[in-house]
């Protein structure tokens, strides 16, 4: 229902005034390669800068996650390139570890919170954040998580992690946070 409203609002905004971003969103399937172990070193940057210096930020548990879900050493964020909702293969281990936990704990529930950087209109970013959350949800479903254990929502640009306007700040905000619910 919520995604229908977001897409309806997006369609109306596009029909009335066009899209705030002239760059089309890349559409590609979530990769379903066999996952590898979580890298304990550094998270490499993809071509769009997403993932730079993310190890500390990704591995630090969100305050709302304290004591819920897998341990604090388990990454709970997936980062995206500009205008993209494709889950990069470097985040397959993040999906795998969280999917394994959810599969082993059928009572557990997560909220997949899609976020964007500040560029673009509110409507565009809400739709993009939803597509990102849906892509992570689909990836975790492919790894065996029941859809009833997950809820995909979008905050768009409303809940940034980084407040600045540098490319590094933007990259930090283009993410889906996997938030375990109590």
Q: For residue 124, is pLDDT > 60?
A: yes
* Residue 7: pLDDT over 50: no
Pairing of strands 175-180, 150-156: unpaired
For 133-172, the pLDDT digits (tens) are: 999 999 999 999 999 999 999 999 999 999 999 999 999 9
Task: For residue 3, give both structure tokens.
Answer: 């995604």
Is 75's pLDDT higher than 60? Answer: yes
pTM, rounded to two decimals: 0.67
pLDDT for position 68: 77
Domains and CATH numbers, the chain: 2-180 (3.30.1330.60)
Number of other CB atoms surrounding residue 160 within 10 Å = 18
Instruction: Output the average pLDDT for the chain.
Output: 76
Burial 49-78 (b: 16+ CB within 10 A, else e): bbbbebeeebbebbeebeeebbeeebbbbb
């Amino acid at each position: 229902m919520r995604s229908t409203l977001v897409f309806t609002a997006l369609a109306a905004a596009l029909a009335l005034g066009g899209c705030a971003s002239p760059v089309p969103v890349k559409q590609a399937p979530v990769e379903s390669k066999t996952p590898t172990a979580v890298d304990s070193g550094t998270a490499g940057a993809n071509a769009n800068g997403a993932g730079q210096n993310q190890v500390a930020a990704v591995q630090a548990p969100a305050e709302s996650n304290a004591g819920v879900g897998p341990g604090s050493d388990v990454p709970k964020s997936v980062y995206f390139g500009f205008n993209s909702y494709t889950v990069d293969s470097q985040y397959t281990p993040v999906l795998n570890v969280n999917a394994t936990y959810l599969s082993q704990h059928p009572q557990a529930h997560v909220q997949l919170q899609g976020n964007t950087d500040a560029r673009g209109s509110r409507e565009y970013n809400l739709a993009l954040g939803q597509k990102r959350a849906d892509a992570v949800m689909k990836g975790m479903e492919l790894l065996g998580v029941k859809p009833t254990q997950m809820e995909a929502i979008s905050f768009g640009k409303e809940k940034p992690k980084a407040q600045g306007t540098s490319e590094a700040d933007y990259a930090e905000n283009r993410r889906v946070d996997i938030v375990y619910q109590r």
